[in-house]
Amino acid sequence: MPLTTETAGASNGQNAHSNKQNGDSSRDNLSIVGLGHHYPPYTNALEDIEGYLAKFCDMETPAMKKLLQVNRNTGIKERPNIIARDDPLFNRSEPPTIADLDHIFRTRAVDLVVKACRKAIADWGGTAAGITHTVAASSTSAGSPGYDLLANEKLGIRPEAQRLLLSGIGCAGGLATIRTAATIANDATLRGRPARVLGFVCDVTSTNVRCDLKMLMENPEETKVSMALFSDAAAAFVLCNPRGLEDPERVIYSILDWESGILPGTQKHEQCLLDPLGKKFFFFGKMLAVGKPLPGFRSSMGLDLPNITSNASAPMLSRMLGRNAWQRQDGDKELKATNFDWALHPAGLAVLDKVKENLKLDDGQLRASFDVYESKGNSSCPTVLIVLDRLRRMGEGRDNVVACSFGPGLCIEMIAMKRFQGECWS
């Protein structure tokens, strides 16, 4: 399927090439110097989900049998949730209102974000007062001012720090935030200014479970499996340009290049729609009309998503490698997918397996993606950042890393990085 590139070549690959020729490290480029993530305190294991389902639904309907089957076959050990299973708001006869969901995000989710950001700032070794820009994203929050302002205030970010909030990009939000932070940092470099960008993302999907169950009760023939796959989390990073980098020993990953694009004709394969009137829901590309309002975010993933995403990965990687000299040592052949470690967004086990098969990767190259998926599930936007954080703590590996994620559109984000295996890797 042809891919439309949105931001090809918007990188610092040329500088990386000159550094390579001079024998210098990529620390002269854009650097990620801090990473952090935080999961909420409550968890749902396999048996917890089935117990909660039994409280509200007829377990003998086709929809529930399908959901139970998926729940037992995901391979996920537990799913962190921002709400407790016995929370009264999610155990009453009717689902929470859109106002209830918004309040939870602007309080509990913002607290989750602040904890992740503080970890990233501590990892960097700087302070909130030193942050010059913030870039944030979420698929499960709407409203103005954005939740990023609330987080900035709690963190003590200076009021004059520039901020930007991204939306509408779903699970691609983690890497889109890095890409945007890198663009901002490059701009600051051209203007002769330091950039220390705090990026953070958060998604809360557990608050929509009660609405999903209500839908299944009224439409017993439909399938809705998101509650078996998704979890809640927040993740953050600090990215510096050369003028903002005070301690080169703090570099975790150096940004080499990035690509971003859309796959035309694939919008129906992944969506997350907000419908306060509850009149339309989309499941696996099919529009379903329901009778009663069920406010909330409606997410869907098409059955062909693993094939579409895996087929799109190799062409984007080839374009990015083809225009860069940093990838080659003198006289060496052009690098390929198997020469990298991969931080692939774990949208599901089928997606991981299909990308692994198509790109001829081994388990070790995707070890962090499988580890995060099996231990905590898919947390949407934050997941790929959590994978990057996990990867650096899994011992030595390949020098270069490719991070890749997919979101509604379908859109694809890909970033090539050089990693530094110093003390922070222990």
Q: How far apart are CA 16 and CA 27, in angstroms?
A: 9
H runs (alpha helix) in 243-325:
305-322
Q: How far apart are CA 343 and CA 366, in angstroms?
A: 7
Query: Taking the CB of residue 89, how many other CB atoms lie within 10 A of it?
Result: 16
Catalytic annotation, pick one of 171, 240, 381, 411? 171
DSSP state of 419: E
What is residue 230's three-state secondary structure? strand
| Ramachandran quadrant class, 2 (left: phi over 0; alpha: psi -120 to 50; beta: rest) | beta
How far from 332 is each of 88, 326, 328, 380, 401, CA to CA, in Å? Answer: 62, 11, 6, 38, 18
Q: Which of 413, 52, 49 is nearest to 231 (CA)?
A: 49
Q: How far apart are CA 306 and CA 322, in angstroms?
A: 25
Q: Is the dihedral of CA 162, 163, 164, 170 positive or negative?
A: positive
171 catalytic residue (yes or no): yes
How far from 243 is each of 20, 28, 189, 361, CA to CA, in Å? Answer: 20, 9, 7, 37
| Ramachandran quadrant class, 14 (left: phi over 0; alpha: psi -120 to 50; beta: rest) | alpha
Element (H, E) at 4: strand 4-5
> Which residues are the active-site residues?
171
